[in-house]
Amino acid sequence: MTAYTATVTVRLKRGVLDPEAETTARALERLGFELEDLRSADRFEVDLEAESAEAARERAEEMAERLLANPTIHDYDVEVAER
Amino acid sequence: MTAYTATVTVRLKRGVLDPEAETTARALERLGFELEDLRSADRFEVDLEAESAEAARERAEEMAERLLANPTIHDYDVEVAER
């Protein structure tokens, strides 16, 4: 078994309203910052042990499908690194 | 001016309690997943125009310092890519 960290990034699908990001963008503009767009996402760093990087990725993808992301409104991606 | 996307990742400093991550980890375990630890972080993808990647990074770091992160409890890092 090898120790891995799987990083799952969960973002809203294009077209889904993101009022939190909108509010953050307006607040930055009020502070004087120039920006064109801002998107927010959740990131989960999961430490786990697995037989291989591929097995760690599969387990993290299943975590995303079953709990971390809502497939109706979210896309997600998974990166795996040895730790 | 060049178009960049600056990705700001904001995470809790080590030692700061993260009840959301703790709850997520327990929920995954109840679903039958094995994991050692789980950390959550916020990720902001900011589209901006700047003279150089260095200028884009500096602006994103200032955004983090002034609004996106709370320096008492958060660490952050910034990645910049052309878009």
Of A38, A47, A66, the CB nearest to B45: A38
Q: Do B41 and A45 touch (CB under 8 A)?
A: yes
Q: What is the CA radius of gyration of chain B?
A: 16
Residue of B nearest to A10 (CA): B43
Task: Give pLDDT tens digits for B8-52.
Answer: 999 999 999 999 999 999 999 999 999 999 999 999 999 999 999
How would residue B54 be classed by pLDDT, with cut points 50, 70 and 90? very high
Q: Output the 3-class SS for chain B.
A: CEEEEEEEEEEECCCCCCHHHHHHHHHHHHCCCCCCEEEEEEEEEEEEEECCHHHHHHHHHHHHHHHHCCCCCEEEEEEEEEC
How do the pLDDT tens digits run along chain A, 83 residues long? 999 999 999 999 999 999 999 999 999 999 999 999 999 999 999 999 999 999 999 999 999 999 999 999 999 999 999 99
Residue A34 CA to its chain's centroid (Å): 25
Cα–Cα distance between B28 and B39 in angstroms, integer?
A: 13
Say which amino acid occupies B74: H
Of B9, B33, B41, the CB nearest to A63: B33
> What kind of fold does domain B2-82 have according to CATH?
Mth169; Chain: A , (3.30.1280)
Cα–Cα distance between B49 and B82 in angstroms, integer?
A: 10
- What is the predicted pLDDT for the residue at B58? 97
What is the full DSSP assignment across chain A?
-EEEEEEEEEEEPTTS--HHHHHHHHHHHHTT---SEEEEEEEEEEEEEESSHHHHHHHHHHHIIIII--TTTEEEEEEEEE-
Of A43, A49, A63, the CB nearest to B9: A43
Q: Do B67 and A31 touch (CB under 8 A)?
A: yes
- What is the predicted pLDDT for the residue at A29? 98
Q: Do B66 and A39 touch (CB under 8 A)?
A: no
ipTM higher than the 0.85 cut: yes
Residue of A nearest to B27 (CA): A67
Q: Do B42 and A37 touch (CB under 8 A)?
A: no
